[in-house]
Chains A and B, each alone.
Chain A
Amino acid sequence: MNSIRQTRFIAQNYPQLQGLRAVPISLGLLVITLWANLQHGPARDLTLPIVVALVGLGFYILVDRYYNRVYGRVKRNISRTELFLQAAGAILALIAFIIDNRNITEISLLGLVFAGVFAFTGFYYCRQAMAAFTINLILAMVLALLSLASLVGIQEWWSLFGVKYSLLAFSLLFGIFGVIDGIILHIYFTHSLPAIQEAA
Chain B
Amino acid sequence: MSNVFVEIAALDKLLHEPARLSLMTALAACKSADFLALQRMTGLTSGNLSVHLSKLEDAGLVVLEKQFVDKRPNTQVQITEKGRQVTESHWQQLENLRRDAQKWQPE
Q: Are A1 and B43 in contact (CB under 8 A)?
A: yes
B18 proximal to A (CB < 8 A): yes
A71 proximal to B (CB < 8 A): yes
Q: Which of A1-23 contact B (CB under 8 A)?
A: 1-2, 4, 7-12, 14
A199 proximal to B (CB < 8 A): yes
B64 proximal to A (CB < 8 A): no
Q: Which of B16-30 contact A (CB under 8 A)?
A: 18-19, 21-22, 25-30
Q: Are B31 and A77 in contact (CB under 8 A)?
A: yes
Query: How many chain A residues have a CB neighbour from B under 8 Å?
Result: 27
Q: Are B42 and A14 in contact (CB under 8 A)?
A: no
A83 proximal to B (CB < 8 A): no
User: Which one of A31-39, A41-49, A92-100, A190-198 contacts B?
Assistant: A190-198
What are 30 of the A-B contact pairs (CB < 8 Å)? A1-B43, A2-B22, A2-B42, A2-B43, A4-B22, A4-B25, A7-B22, A7-B25, A7-B26, A7-B29, A8-B29, A10-B41, A11-B25, A14-B30, A14-B37, A71-B37, A72-B34, A72-B36, A73-B33, A74-B32, A74-B34, A74-B37, A75-B30, A76-B31, A194-B42, A194-B43, A196-B44, A197-B44, A199-B18, A200-B18
11 further A-B pairs in the complex, CB-CB below 8 A; given A71-B40, A73-B34 = A7-B29, A7-B42, A8-B28, A8-B29, A72-B36, A72-B38, A73-B69, A77-B30, A193-B41, A198-B45, A199-B48
Residues of A within 8 A of B (CB): 1-2, 4, 7-12, 14, 65, 68, 71-77, 193-200
